[in-house]
Amino acid sequence: MKFRASVCACVAVASLSFACATDPQVAKRKYFESGNQYFQNKKYAEATVQYNNALRQDPKFGEARLKLAEAYKALGNIRLAFPEFVRAADLLPDNDEAQLKAGNLLIQGGLFAEAKARARNVLKHDPKNVDALVLLGNSLAGMKDTEEGIGVLARAVQIDPELAGVHANLGVLQLAQGETGLAEQAFLKAVSVAPTSVQAQMNLGNFYKATRRYPDAEKTLLRALELEPRNLKVCDALASLYVAWGRPNLSEPYFKSMVEIANDEKSRLALTGYYVSVNRFPDALKTLKELAADKKSYATASVGIAMLEYAMGDRARAHQLIDEVLKREPRNAGALTVKARLLLAERKPAEALEQVKAAVMVDPRSAEAQLTLARVQMAMRDVETARKAFNDTLKLDPHSLAAQLELSELHRNRNEIDTAIQFAEQAVTDNPRNLAARLTLVRALMVRDQDHSRAEKELQTILARQPNSPRAHGVLGQLLLSRNDLTPAQRSFERELALDPQSAEAITGLVAIDLSHKKTAEARTKVDAFLARHPNQPEVLILAAKVYKEANQPPAKVEALLNRALAADPANPATYALLAQLYVSQKRLVEAKAQFSHIVKLEPRSVAAITMMGLLCYVSGDLDEAQQWWEKALQIDSYAAAAANDLAWLYAEGRGSLEVALLLAQTAKSKYPNLPEVNDTLGWVYYRKDLVGQAILFLQQSLDMEPRNPVYHYHLGMAYARKGDDAKARRLLEAALKIDPKFAYAASAKKTLGSLVY
């Protein structure tokens, strides 16, 4: 009988299984209930399996989609949770929970219009739903309609004034509007409504941090820690507070607490980042090695160790570690990306391209891989492909500061100023207190005269917040110098030098002001004193050579300074131009050629010697050989800015493609954005391409930096003549001939003057 009973039981189970298999509606419910049971027991991975089984039976099973999304979220996999929440909301249009969860994730992804639509769906049938009002308010703020967003959140406060979270959201928007007083009231109200809420204390503390009231922030966050001593977010907030406050030594205990509480990869990497920021590399290595002992974290930790080893100068060890990771995990996108970055740093863009393309193929949604791809393409002078990769980075990570800033610089170098400003403004919006973002915006605004007043306002904003930023004082000095406001410019440069005694920019500005006042002795004293403290700064060595030449010092001293500059920075076009001028003035071309030819024989891959050979051939009139030398230099090093600049000039003069000339000139511009030689070449290429408006902007920059250069007057005059602005063209061409009646293009200047109508 027992045997018969067992058989009967098996038959019953089989019948049930068969029924499930033949009836998808029954099957999906069974799988769904099983998933719910796993979910209640916090077995989220098993729950996802059952929910997916239910969805195979019925892909439009909205409840299963919603629970699957929640299970993925519980596992920390937001990438998979996000689309499931959105699909669930689409399938359950009347389910407020689904709409709100999808909407809040859409907010996190920067999809504000879509989030707004979800909020409106709920509010249509429940206009007093506070959560929906908060979602709508945040969506409007994300769409730059902050004032309307504040109004919506104020309505939510009226409906339920006892919800601390609503007050906090209102405070965030008011802070974004610059209404710090109202924002503080909102954050304080949230604390008074929920005095034991850790989140309310944290919101207030973060407000104080954002407004640089660091002691108040410290007091508030420590109160939050008293309420919940092992709260990970509070420890993180305190750690970042002390870093922002400039007291990083106080943040270490909180980074360590995060490791103790979470004991995960993220917290250990945060501790590593802290050690790196304070130059405690041995401690950072120790932390990463402990992390690498865990199989799950081996790859991430090993890549981090490799980057540290590289930063500490052990390139071979860094490559070895990355190669070991890739041997174990050939499709590790992070390791492939870092391998590409190391190769790019070593000026091996072709090899870097191979690695980063593999990374993108493995993980097309990796923003870091796309960013590295963009940088590699820039190194290979494929500006258009680089631009696309930067934009792809922003599609994956809309708030990527690096992509925003590099796109702004890219468009500024292409003289697409409106677009450059747009990307810089977005960076500032996302990172309002980031110095690099604001200075990038200022540099874009400084290109056009009509934007100078706004640039100055931006600089004043920066200096109000960061009065001890040497870079901000230096940029302000440059702006004032361009307007010939010499006294305030001098004060700015002096302040920059006091804050940063190694600033080449500050000493260059101060020397320029001395030379404009014909104070050659004072200028020489300044550069000599600077070089005594910092003997190997290439920009100042070049500056010293110019000052010595102006002061009629012996040519041997000028040459010695330029040779030191060449050794310190073999790529700078200015050094080569000055050396060539020196050799021509001394009639030493034959001797110089023999000297550099001998260097090339001893060091066949010496880009500096090869570039110099090209320049000596050029000034000797042998353009074919000059072109061959410069092309050879770029074959060895595609970053060779001096060779790129000179070759661009040759191509612009009819010896090559104007498109290639433009790419070469942009390569030099990306490395030396403020050199007059580089701006002149780029401007002249635009002139040859008949893009006169863009030509004038760059040619004017060169003339502003060297107002006594006849060639720069001539080039700008020719551009105005082509534009049809005869009066400006005449003034510039006459000025060129007045400075030097026999300069190289004197005949062409006279011919053009004769053709001008007025």
Q: What is the pLDDT of residues 302-315, one digit of tens each?
A: 999 999 999 888 99
pLDDT at res. 632:
94
Terminal Cα distance for the chain, rounded: 121
**363 located within any domain:** no
- The CATH number that applies at residue 738 is 1.25.40.10
Task: Name the least confident of 162-166, 225-229, 430-434.
Answer: 162-166
**C-alpha dist (Å) from residue 6 to 3, 14, 18, 629:** 5, 12, 18, 91
**Rounded-to-integer distance, Cα 213 and Cα 758, Å:** 62
Burial 533-544 (b: 16+ CB within 10 A, else e): eeeebbbbbbbb
**C-alpha dist (Å) from residue 250 to 214, 257, 261, 361, 401:** 13, 12, 18, 43, 27
Report whether pLDDT(9) > 80.
no
State the DSSP string of 623-638. Answer: HHHHHHHHHHHHHH-T
**678 located within any domain:** yes
pLDDT at res. 171:
60
In this prediction, residues 8-21 reach a mean pLDDT of 39
Which residue matches tokens 């909407």? 103
Average pLDDT, the chain: 86
3-state SS, residue 394 = helix
**679 located within any domain:** yes
pLDDT at res. 5:
39
Q: At what angle do helices 298-311 and 281-292 cross, to 10 degrees?
A: 160
Contact present, 161 and 131 (Cβ < 8 Å): no
Amino acid at position 149, single letter: G
In this prediction, residues 395-402 reach a mean pLDDT of 92
Number of domains in the chain: 1
Report whether pLDDT(610) > 90.
yes
pLDDT at res. 584:
85
**631 located within any domain:** no
Residue among 403, 399, 400, 378 at smallest CA distance from 390: 403
Residue among 525, 516, 573 at smallest CA distance from 548: 525
pLDDT at res. 64:
81
**195 located within any domain:** no
Structure confidence by residue, pLDDT tens digits, 127-148: 777 777 777 767 766 676 666 6
**Rounded-to-integer distance, Cα 55 and Cα 65, Å:** 7
Contact present, 29 and 58 (Cβ < 8 Å): no
Report whether pLDDT(13) > 50.
no
State the DSSP string of 96-153. Answer: HHHHHHHHHHHHHTT-HHHHHHHHHHHHHH-TT-HHHHHHHHHHHHHTT-HHHHHHHH
Non-local (6+) Cβ contacts of 218 within 8 A are 205, 238, 241, 245
Domain residue limits at 751: 673-758
Residue among 451, 485, 456 at smallest CA distance from 473: 456
**Rounded-to-integer distance, Cα 515 and Cα 536, Å:** 23
Using a 10 angstrom Cβ sphere, with 0-12 exposed, 13-18 middle and 19 or more buried, the burial of residue 691 is middle
pLDDT at res. 8:
39
Structure confidence by residue, pLDDT tens digits, 467-499: 999 999 999 999 998 888 999 999 999 999 999
pLDDT at res. 6:
38
Which spans in 398-483 are helix H?
401-413, 417-430, 435-445, 452-465, 470-482
Structure confidence by residue, pLDDT tens digits, 556-608: 999 999 999 988 988 888 888 888 889 888 888 898 889 888 888 988 988 88
Residue among 363, 372, 378, 307 at smallest CA distance from 340: 372
Residue among 432, 376, 439 at smallest CA distance from 405: 439
pLDDT at res. 183:
72
Contact present, 59 and 88 (Cβ < 8 Å): no
Which spans in 606-675 are helix H?
607-619, 623-636, 641-650, 658-671
pLDDT at res. 484:
86
Compute the C-alpha angle 629/634/637, nearest 5°.
130
**Most distant pair of Cα atoms in the chain: their distance:** 123
Half-sphere exposure of residue 503: CA atoms within 13 angstroms, side-chain side: 25
pLDDT band at residue 191 using 50, 70 and 90 as cut-offs = confident
pLDDT at res. 154:
67
Report whether pLDDT(4) > 70.
no
State the DSSP string of 471-485. Answer: HHHHHHHHHHHHTT-
Amino acid at position 358, single letter: A
**385 located within any domain:** no
Structure confidence by residue, pLDDT tens digits, 724-736: 889 999 999 999 9
Residue among 712, 718, 670, 663 at smallest CA distance from 690: 718
**295 located within any domain:** no
**225 located within any domain:** no
**Rounded-to-integer distance, Cα 119 and Cα 132, Å:** 5
